[in-house]
Amino acid sequence: MDSLEIKGGVPLHGDVQISGAKNAVLPIMAATLLTPEKCVIHNVPNLSDVSFMARILESLGARVRLKGGTVTVEATRVKPVGNYDLIRKMRGSICILGPLLGRQHEARVSLPGGCVIGPRPIDLHLKGVRRLGAKVSIEEGYVCAQARRLKGADVFLGGRSGPTVLGTANLMMAAVLADGVTTIQSAACEPEVVDLADFLIKMGARIEGAGSPSVTIRGVKTLHGAEHEVIPDRIEAATFAIAAAATGGEITLHGVRPDHLHAVIDKLEETGVRITQKSLTLKVAAAKKLRPVDVTTQPYAGFPTDVQAQLMSLLILAPGISIITERIFESRFMHVSELTRLGADISIEGPSAIIKGGQPLSGAPIMASDLRASAALVLAGLSAKGKTLINRIYHLDRGYENIDAKLRKLGARIRRRNTE
C-alpha cells in the first residue's frame, strides 16, 4: 500500500494546472447511458473513481475507452443491473439510477456502502423518482426501481441539510426522457450540476434553470450522442490555493474557474491571503500575517464542505481562535485526531471545531481516513517541521490527479513510498 513521505517547511512557488472536476465527470459519465450513440468527454482526470465508473458502465454493457484525458462511451445496449460490488464500493455510482430508469424504465442498483464522513441516505433520490411514477423497493441490497413510463411532476428535493447534489443529478437524468414537464424545487446549484445539464442539453435534452434552486425539464423522446469538455475541479483548485497559503509561498493556478470559488476566495482573503484573479488563473500569495476566522460549511454558493478539512490545515497555523462549523456531513472531522498528532490544538463541540492556532507543527506518521481529510494531512505535512508519513493514500488518488508530482514541481519535498 502506498504512503506519502513529506519533509515540510518549504514555501511552494510556481505554476500548477488544475485538472477536470471529479464531481462533474462521474454524473456526466453516467448520463452517457441515456443514449445508444457515442459520447466523447474531454478534460477527464486520471483518478481511481473515474476508472471505477468506467468499469461500472462496462458492467452495464457499455463500451468504454479511457485515453489521455478523454473518455469515449457507446452504450448501444444497456442492462438494468450492474456489478453489485463495484457499485456498492463507490457512492458516486448511485447516479446511474436516474439514467437507467430514464432509458430502460428499470434499474437495480446496489445500495451505496457506508461512509466515514457521516450517514449518507438516498431517501431524496428515491423520493424524486417515485414522484415521476417509479415503483421503488429495496431487495437483497439493491434499490429496485421500475416504471412502465415516467411522467413529469413537481418535486421538492430539499432535505434536512439543504439540497442534494447527486439527488438533483439523478432526478434530472430520469426526467429528460419522461413524458411531460418536471420541475425540481430546492435543486442543488453546484457548478457540477450545471456542467451535467450542459452535457444533457448537448444530447438534446430540454433543461432550464440549472444552477438555480428551481430547474425545469421538458421530457423528449430520445437523446443523441454528444461531445463535452468537463469543468475544472474547484476543490482541487482550493486545495492548491491553501497549499500556497499554508507553506508561506506563492502559486499560480491555471485552467481554473474563479467564478466557482467566490466563497473560498472570500474566506482566504479574510485570513490575509492575497489572491489575484484573471479569467482562468488565480495567483495565490501567502498572508504576511495569518488571521484566525470562523466558517460554516453550506450548500453552493456557500463555503464547500469539501474544502473544510483543507481550510483547517491553514487555520491551525493562524495565531488565535478559529471556529469551523460543519453543517453538511455531521462527522466530517476524521482529520482532527491526525492533525492533533502533528501538534495542532483542536477541540470538537457538537458540529464545530474550535482551533487554537499558531502551535508549532512537527512531522509524524499519520493515517488518511477519507478523500478530503487526506488532502488536509498533505497540507499539514507540507507546513510541519520534519518528516510526515501519510498512510492509506489510496483515498487521495480517488480525487487528486498526480498530486505528489504537481506538488514536487512547486518545490515540495514529497515522495510516494510503498510501505507493504
Active-site residue list: 115
Identify the DSSP state of 290: -
How far apart CA 264 and CA 258 sit, in angstroms, is 10
Integer-rounded Cα Rg, in Å, for the chain is: 21
Q: In sequence order, which residues have a C-beta less than 8 Å from that of residue 296 and are 6 or more positions away?
A: 302, 303, 324, 325, 327
219 binds ligand EPZ per the rule CB under 6 A: no
Closest CA to 4 of 409, 399, 395: 395
Q: Does 306 interact with ligand EPZ (rule: CB under 6 A)?
A: yes
CB 231, min distance to ligand EPZ, A: 13
Distance CA(347)–CA(303), nearest Å, equals: 21
Cα dist. 227→29, 71, 202 in Å? 12, 10, 8
Say whether residue 122 binds ligand EPZ (CB under 6 A): yes
Strand order in the sheet with 281-285: 13-17, 250-254, 281-285, 274-278
Among 26, 244, 275, 290, binds ligand EPZ (CB under 6 A): 26
Site for ligand EPZ contains 93 (CB under 6 A) = no
- Kindly tell me which residue out of 3, 164, 247, 252 binds ligand EPZ, with binding defined by CB under 6 A: 164
What's the closest the beta carbon of residue 164 comes to ligand EPZ, in angstroms? 3
User: Is 23 one of the binding residues for ligand EPZ (CB under 6 A)?
Assistant: yes
Candidates 371, 379, 412, 414; binder of ligand EPZ (CB under 6 A) is 371
Does 226 sit behind a cis peptide bond, omega within 30 degrees of 0 on the bond before it?
no
> What letter does residue 91 receive in the DSSP assignment?
G
Burial 160-190 (b: 16+ CB within 10 A, else e): ebbbbbbbbbbbbbbbbbbeeebbbebbbbb
Residue 197 lies near ligand EPZ (rule: CB under 6 A): no
Asked if 166 is part of the footprint of ligand EPZ (rule: CB under 6 A), the reply reads yes
Q: Which residues pair with 297 in a beta bridge?
A: 303
Question: Rule CB under 6 A: which of 229-268 touch ligand EPZ?
Answer: none
Q: Give dist(CA 174, CA 128) in Å, integer.
A: 9
Q: Which range, of 11-19, 162-170, 173-181, 225-233, touches ligand EPZ by CB under 6 A?
A: 162-170
Rounded CA-CA distance 183/209 in Å is 10
Give the count of residues interacting with ligand EPZ (CB under 6 A).
25
In the list 103, 131, 372, 395, the residue contacting ligand EPZ (rule: CB under 6 A) is 372
**Phi and psi at residue 50, to the nearest 5°:** -70, -45
Minimum CB separation of residue 57 from ligand EPZ in Å reads 15
Site mask for ligand EPZ (CB under 6 A), range 173-192, x = bound? ---------------x----
Nearer to ligand EPZ, 159 or 248 (CB): 159
> Which is closer to ligand EPZ, CB of 34 or CB of 371?
371
C-alpha cell, 275: 489572491
Name the packing angle between helices 165-175 and 191-202 (round to 10°).
Answer: 20
Q: Which stretch binds ligand EPZ (CB under 6 A): 12-20, 34-42, 118-126, 316-324?
A: 118-126
Among 167, 191, 225, 357, binds ligand EPZ (CB under 6 A): 167
- State the nearest-atom distance from the C-beta of 169 to ligand EPZ, in Å: 7
Q: Considering the rule CB under 6 A, would residue 121 count as an interface residue with ligand EPZ? A: yes
Nearest distance from C-beta of residue 51 to ligand EPZ, angstroms: 15
Pairing mode of beta strands 281-285, 274-278: antiparallel
**Residue 123 lies near ligand EPZ (rule: CB under 6 A):** yes
Buried-state track 50-69, b at ≥16 Cβ within 10 A, e below 16 = bebbbbbbebbebebebeeb
Instruction: Give the nearest distance from C-beta 19 to ligand EPZ in angstroms.
Output: 13
Q: Please, which residue, 166 or 251, has the CB nearer to ligand EPZ? A: 166
Nearer Cβ to ligand EPZ (292/304): 304
Helices (H) and strands (E) in the chain, counts: 14, 23
Residue closer to ligand EPZ (CB basis): 238 or 290: 238
Nearer to ligand EPZ, 127 or 291 (CB): 127
Least distance in angstroms from the C-beta of 406 to ligand EPZ? 18
Residue with cell 510541519: 384
> Which residue, 26 or 210, has its beta carbon nearer to ligand EPZ?
26
| C-alpha–C-alpha distance, residues 92 and 122, integer Å | 11
Contact between 196 and ligand EPZ by CB under 6 A: the answer reads no
Residue among 343, 346, 323, 342 nearest 389 (CA): 342
From candidates 158, 159, 204, 211, binder to ligand EPZ by CB under 6 A: 159
Query: Which residues sit at the interface with ligand EPZ, rule CB under 6 A?
Result: 23, 26, 91-92, 120-125, 159-161, 164-167, 188, 305-306, 328-329, 371-372, 399
